Amino acid sequence: MIETVIRKRIEILADQAQARRVTDIIDKTGITGWTITPVTSGKGREGRWREERVMGTDKVFILTIASQENAAALAEKLAPILTSHGLLLTMWDVEVIRGERF
């Protein structure tokens, strides 16, 4: 049977304009990788929204997987801009193969 280890899956919803700032923080936290996916629409507390290229408010989804320690450090570093920049951060435990990579 393949052995797995527990890591944290972290998802961050952000405006496209904030993606570089967020990924720089991920890199500085020591997390080894991330993926960015465009988001075209959604619904939140303030209602429905969709991408708005004219206004520059396109949304992206930033995904990364990290150790518990690095995940906690990332959350701490992002906490000051979560509200001011409208970020949504979620994380939960996942099982991964080759845990040393994360």
* Adjacent-strand bridge partners of 10: 64, 91
100 found inside a domain:
no
Confidence band, pLDDT 50/70/90 cuts, at residue 53: low
Nearest to 53 by CA among 102, 3, 16, 12: 16
pTM of the model: 0.85
pLDDT digits (tens, 9 = 90+) for 58-97: 889 999 999 999 999 999 999 999 988 889 999 999 999 9
Mean pLDDT value of segment 45-50: 70
73 found inside a domain:
yes
Say which CATH number the domain at 60 has.
3.30.70.120
53 found inside a domain:
yes
Domain that holds residue 38: 5-95
Q: Count up the domains in the chain and report the number.
A: 1
DSSP state of 58: -
Nearest to 97 by CA among 2, 1, 9: 2
